[in-house]
Amino acid sequence: MKRKGKTTQVKSRAVVLAAGGFQANPEWRARYLGPNWELAKVRGTRFNTGDVIRMALEVGAAPTGNWSGCHAVAWERNAPEFGDLAVGDQFQKHSYPWGVYVNALGRRFVDEGADFRNYTYAKYGRVILSQPGQFAWQIFDAKVKAQLRDEYKIRQVTKHTADSLEELCGKLEDTDGETALREVREYNAAVRTDVPFNPNVKDGRRTEGLAINKSNWANTLDTPPFEAYAVTCGITFTFGGLKINTDAQVMSTDGVPIPGLYAAGELVGGIFWFNYPGGSGLTNGSVFGRIAGASAAKAATG
């Protein structure tokens, strides 16, 4: 540790590692998550760079989990590179089930109504990052204005409003507006308007005949004013990390616990694979944080 500019060595019989994943390290993101991940925005702190994971691996800790996976969401396209404490989490844009996505080519590219937001939001950031230019537009009409989350009301948004779809699509920067207009019109024509809209359940109000159909909450975009919000990928945390046992002891590559070393939180691997249900990261941190603390205290005093 450092105190008054001087480095001091502090010895302990037990250490708990809880320094987060490597989401703020663009080189590691490109190395483990894949191409273009160095271009993602970071939702949180700039300090989660994987340094503690690296140090643990260097002393023989075993890596585990989905190292090419992460939690990533739709995030304001022009947000800063790292999280802004003044704005908090309001750069997120999670009301996409009530509208449609189009990419820079003007094409829809994902089923916006595949499931409730809580089960799709953490994997759709990756889908947005894979689009041309690493961004997309969320388009809504006035019918669902009241459904939009509070994060759409902040000042720091890249947003366009228009009284017609033609005008709106013509305003979309870096985007093929003519194709976007045609795509939205084709979407409108494909909506099963005979099925009632119900935002509280998976209502089965869907489209039919499209290359990518919308499975639920498919409303026609026909009521002005129309709105479009530009989003990119915001990474939350990475899924790969250190292997632990049920006592939160860090395991070695030899398959045995490393004496006195414990871990909890995002730097633990093997908890999440490919997707993430909302709120489960908090549960993970609480459960293994408590176990790691209790185990370390027992080791330190035993």
The string of DSSP letters for 173-241 reads: TTS-HHHHHHHHHHHHHHB-TTSPP-TTS-----B-SSSS---S------SSSEEEEEEEEEEEEES-E
- DSSP character at residue 99: S
246-258 burial, b for 16+ CB within 10 Å, e for fewer?
eebbbbbeeeebb
Is the pLDDT score of 302 beyond 90?
no
> H or E element: which one contains 81?
none
Per the CB < 8 A criterion, the answer to whether 147 and 198 are in contact is no
How does pLDDT run across 209-222, given as a tens digit for each residue?
999 999 999 999 99
Query: What's the alpha-carbon Rg for the chain, to the nearest Å?
Result: 22
Max Cα distance, the chain (Å)? 72
How does pLDDT run across 250-262, given as a tens digit for each residue?
999 999 999 999 9
Is the pLDDT score of 223 beyond 80?
yes
Type of residue found at 121? Y
How does pLDDT run across 2-39, given as a tens digit for each residue?
788 889 888 889 999 999 999 999 999 999 999 999 99
Q: Tell me the C-alpha distance between 236 and 36, whole Å.
A: 16
Average pLDDT rounded to a whole number, residues 58-68: 97
pTM of the prediction? 0.92
How does pLDDT run across 118-156, given as a tens digit for each residue?
999 999 999 999 999 999 999 999 999 999 999 999 999
pLDDT of residue 10: 84
Residues 6+ apart with CB under 8 A from 155: none
pLDDT of residue 27: 97
pLDDT of residue 173: 97
Is the pLDDT score of 80 beyond 80?
yes
Per the CB < 8 A criterion, the answer to whether 212 and 109 are in contact is yes
Q: Tell me the C-alpha distance between 74 and 135, whole Å.
A: 9
Residue 96: how many other CB atoms lie within 10 Å: 24
For tokens 């616990």, the residue is 257
How does pLDDT run across 269-289, given as a tens digit for each residue?
999 999 998 889 999 999 999
Residues 6+ apart with CB under 8 A from 88: none
pLDDT of residue 40: 97
Q: Is the dihedral of CA 36, 42, 45, 46 positive or negative?
A: positive
Residues 6+ apart with CB under 8 A from 185: 165
Percent of the chain with pLDDT over 70: 100
* Domains, the chain: 19-71+235-296 (no CATH), 74-233 (3.90.700.10)
